[in-house]
Amino acid sequence: MNQDQYLTLEQLVGNTPLVRLQRLPGEVGTPRGNVILGKMEGNNPAGSVKDRPALSMILEAEKRGDIKPGDTLIEATSGNTGIALAMVAAMRGYKMILIMPDNLSLERRASMTAYGAELILTPADQGGMEYARDLATKMQSEGKGIVLDQFANPDNPLAHFKTTGPEIWSQTAGRVTHFVSAMGTTGTIMGTSKFLKFMNPNVQIVGAQPAEGSQIPGIRKWPQAYLPKIYDATRVDRFELIEQSDAETMARRLAAEEGICAGVSAAGALVAALRVAAEVRDSTIVFIVCDRGDRYLSTGIFNQ
Ligand SMILES: Cc1ncc(COP(=O)(O)O)c(C=O)c1O
């Protein structure tokens, strides 16, 4: 029997569907000749766009000989990256330690421990993610494991340069005119922008960020001093600030009017995509649907 004829879970990361919205765009869609397409990253095995960089950071480090199965990996992360890293670590035989503030939803913690990761909870009132990140660095310096650091690791955007970008290019047959992504580590927008602009420098890259005072899980408007090391401002043409309430309303509409139950950052990217659509004609606008909405059910955002 040739076992290679069957795919492993690893081979199912990426190659996500691109879905055309039918009702939500309304007047800014078909009447203006615009098509709005969602890249369904929630279809990845661990449920988010983060499966791509998690796999990339581990495989590339293996290729360089920096890590080998059996080693211990450490990451300070409170969200999708933790879940994705826990899955990839399980898949490839690593021990995964995830460090996060103790005010995180039980739902998220349970997803990570289900994949066998060890969680270290840090006191949220002592500095949140910054405290968690400092502890990860300290543990690495004490020889307790290797930190991948998604904010500074070039293998994060590389995943999107190698996969997300080429997929969007081929799925639109090179017709994509605008690419919209919410920005967290900025890995998605950096890598995808690099590829799409290489293929066609006229493709417009739009970054969605939370407006002042708005909390949207997974994304941040970084103060200058905290900008991720992988971020390069020249790769983004336009920024859109998104109010939390607008993103949450759009998440409900996306589920109820299109049947796409997605997270709030994905809905924020759609708010930005619709703003762009209102200004252009005959355009093919792709936005990233970062994860699925069921990851947010306990927050109550779909109950209103
Ligand atoms: C829900 C969600 N949306 C958006 C993003 C942003 O992706 P990136 O880190 O590639 O900028 C993340 C990243 O963690 C996320 O978890």
Nearest residue to 176 (alpha-carbon basis) of 279, 286, 269, 287: 286
Quick one: average pLDDT of 185-208? 98
Residue nearest to atom 16 of ligand 1 (CA): 218
* C-alpha span between 274 and 119 (Å, rounded): 39
Q: Encode pLDDT of 35-65 as tens digits.
A: 999 999 999 999 999 999 999 999 999 999 9
- The token duo for 286 is 């792709």
Phi/psi class of residue 228: alpha, beta or left (left: φ > 0; alpha: ψ in -120 to 50)?
beta
Which domains, from first to last, does the chain contain?
3-45+157-299 (3.40.50.1100), 51-147 (3.40.50.1100)
Of all atoms in ligand 1, which is nearest to the CA of residue 263?
Answer: 1
pLDDT band at 232 (very low <50, low <70, confident <90, very high): very high
What pLDDT sits at residue 124? 83
Top mutation candidate among 48, 158, 220 for ligand 1, by most atoms within 8 Å of CB: 48
| 191 in Cβ contact with 179 (< 8 Å) | no
Taking the centre of ligand 1 as the mean of its atom positions, its distance from the CA of residue 282, in whole angstroms, is: 29
Taking the centre of ligand 1 as the mean of its atom positions, its distance from the CA of residue 215, in whole angstroms, is: 13
Residue nearest to atom 3 of ligand 1 (CA): 218
Lowest mean pLDDT among 188-192, 205-209, 218-222: 218-222
Measuring from each residue's beta carbon to the nearest atom of ligand 1, which residues come in under 6 Å?
Answer: 48-50, 79-81, 182-188, 217-219, 263, 265, 290-291
Catalytic positions: 50, 265
What pLDDT sits at residue 74? 97
* C-alpha span between 114 and 84 (Å, rounded): 12
Quick one: average pLDDT of 90-94? 97
| 268 in Cβ contact with 206 (< 8 Å) | no
* C-alpha span between 206 and 287 (Å, rounded): 9
Top mutation candidate among 290, 295, 296, 301 for ligand 1, by most atoms within 8 Å of CB: 290
Taking the centre of ligand 1 as the mean of its atom positions, its distance from the CA of residue 5, in whole angstroms, is: 33
The mean of the pLDDT values for the chain is 95
Taking the centre of ligand 1 as the mean of its atom positions, its distance from the CA of residue 231, in whole angstroms, is: 13
Residue nearest to atom 14 of ligand 1 (CA): 218
Provide the Cα torsion 89, 90, 94, 98; round to 10°: 60
Of all atoms in ligand 1, which is nearest to the CA of residue 156?
Answer: 10
* C-alpha span between 155 and 63 (Å, rounded): 12
What pLDDT sits at residue 178? 99
- The token duo for 266 is 């994905």
* C-alpha span between 281 and 196 (Å, rounded): 20
Q: What type of residue sits at position 185? A: T
Q: Encode pLDDT of 265-276 as tens digits.
A: 999 999 999 999
Query: For a pLDDT cut of 90, what percent of the chain falls above it?
Result: 85
Q: 89-109 in b/e burial notation, b at 16+ Cβ within 10 A? A: bbbbebbbbbbbbeebeeebb
Q: Encode pLDDT of 129-187 as tens digits.
A: 788 889 999 999 999 999 999 999 999 999 999 999 999 999 999 999 999 999 999 99
Residue nearest to atom 6 of ligand 1 (CA): 184
Taking the centre of ligand 1 as the mean of its atom positions, its distance from the CA of residue 184, in whole angstroms, is: 5
pLDDT band at 109 (very low <50, low <70, confident <90, very high): confident
What pLDDT sits at residue 32? 98
